[in-house]
Structure 1
Amino acid sequence: METKTWSGATAEVLLVGRAESERPTGLACLPDGGVLITCPDGLREVDTGSGQAHWHVLLPGCHGGALVRGDGAVLVMCGSALVRWQEGHLRVVAGAFEEGSVLLAGPDDESWVLSGYGATLGVGQGTLALTRAGDTVGDQLRYPITFDAAVRSALWLDGRRFFLAAQR
């Protein structure tokens, strides 16, 4: 397994497991040093010291990286909705997102969702948007983005500025 790149960046192997038919789509770190792995059937919690794993939440349709909040809540995309799991309670926080939406960490512990697509090569209308999720359904604020490229992901910079990663 490659652990060093041509630019000098190194990587450390944390876990090794058997191949699954459905691949994980996200990884999040827990405050205790464990990790949450997003699988199509939910979130698996893995103790990186022992390698022991168990279901944190069994919830079909999960995808992408989860966000772990300071209060212990975990947010993850599930189908077209953003859900929150905390102390055994599951609730929808925001929804009606397009397939392939990406959950992002924003300023002040805010949750954002990148959804839709940009109009590529000047053809058609794009549906690209960044949505601040809020705490409950109905609190979400959608900000449409006009961008002439296929945006794949975004990263919060500061304030209300995000870096968009796109393929032209």
Structure 2
Amino acid sequence: MIQSIVLRRLGGTLNEILELIERTAQVSELHAEFATGNRLVTYIEFGQLEYLDQYLAWYEGRDYIFIGLPFMLEGFVKLGRLEDAGQLLNRYQHIIEEIATSNEPKKIQLHLHFRHAYALYLCARKGLHELLEVANKAFELGNFNRFKKCIQSYWKYKNFTTIEHENKFMQLLLNN
């Protein structure tokens, strides 16, 4: 499972990653179960957002839903399903608060991913401050991939910026 996640991060193709997931799924029933979620999130990360509802249904009731929340939130925003995004935020607020206060390195990175997705949600509702704060935090943590995604997202919503946003953006670039 970890190999397919790493391969996604290193720029593997969709087919390469799906083949690896399929091989892993053959190991045991447990691996097959995790492979289902891993396959769905892979499709989502490759922009095939039609798998989003299936991914949400797969995660329902699982103790580790916090892992999938950022992908779900980001997917709803990209699809323009802001009402669904808002419902997701309300429904899992207690989990979001839990990962926000965690000191575990993996949960800190998950929270950063969640904050990026949340910033996209706010941007879709014309709020860019959170996105710039996430970009700054990502840079501080050395997560340059997330920093880059934040900057790209900011650029996408550039038409909605104010002088205050632009000043904050310039300060972010100058300080980092």
Q: Using CA pairs below 8 Å that are at least 6 residues apart, which structure has the higher relative contact order?
A: 2
More helix by share: 2
Q: TM-score, length-normalised on structure 1? A: 0.26
Q: TM-score, length-normalised on structure 2? A: 0.26
